[in-house]
């Protein structure tokens, strides 16, 4: 049997981390969590996740800074990153900013926290392929 993919959820909202971790665990993933980019980078030195779900706006170290630091480290530079954002504005120009932000930082894409959790899990499976 193949090993379960490991997902690192990085978000400063403890409720979101808890809910999302439980949902991902129920979906068959191994889950690690961190409250900011600095804590996440430290965890990745001990265990390498298959995918990082990364909030954009966080104290201590934001998502963009974390991705740039990941790209500088040979051990973490190839880990897939998906930004998670509450910036779920439906206007096309805001959606384009989100897409550009993801692309500029070498992320696989972005997910909106406001989406249905089952839909988010399905999208995560696609990002892992």
pLDDT tens track for 38-53: 999 999 999 999 999 9
Asked whether residue 115 is domain-assigned, the answer is yes
pLDDT in tens, 61-87: 888 888 889 889 999 988 988 888 765
Whole-structure pTM value = 0.81
Domain span at residue 109 reads 6-25+49-128
pLDDT band at 94 (very low <50, low <70, confident <90, very high): very low
Count structural domains, the chain.
1
- The CA distance from 7 to 51, in Å, is 5
Asked if residues 56 and 63 have their Cβ atoms less than 8 Å apart, the reply is yes
The CATH number assigned to the domain holding 74 equals 3.40.50.2300
Higher per-residue pLDDT: 58 or 99: 58
3-state percent breakdown (helix, strand, coil) of the chain, nearest 5: 45, 20, 35
Cross-strand bridge partners of residue 54: 10, 83
DSSP string, 7-23: EEEE-S-HHHHHHHHHH
Pairing status of strand 51-55 against strand 109-112:
unpaired
């Amino acid at each position: 049997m193949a090993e379960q993919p490991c997902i690192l959820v990085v978000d400063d909202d403890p409720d979101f981390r808890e809910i999302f971790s439980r949902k991902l665990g129920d979906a068959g993933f191994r889950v690690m969590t961190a409250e900011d980019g600095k804590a996440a980078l430290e965890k990745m030195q001990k265990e390498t996740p298959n995918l990082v779900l990364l909030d954009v706006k966080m104290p201590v170290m934001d998502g963009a800074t974390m991705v740039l630091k990941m790209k500088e480290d040979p051990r973490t530079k190839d880990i897939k990153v998906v930004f998670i954002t509450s910036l779920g504005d439906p206007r096309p120009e805001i959606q384009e900013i989100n897409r550009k932000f993801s692309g500029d930082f070498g992320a696989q894409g972005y997910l909106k926290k406001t989406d249905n959790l089952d839909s988010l899990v399905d999208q995560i499976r696609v990002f892992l392929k």
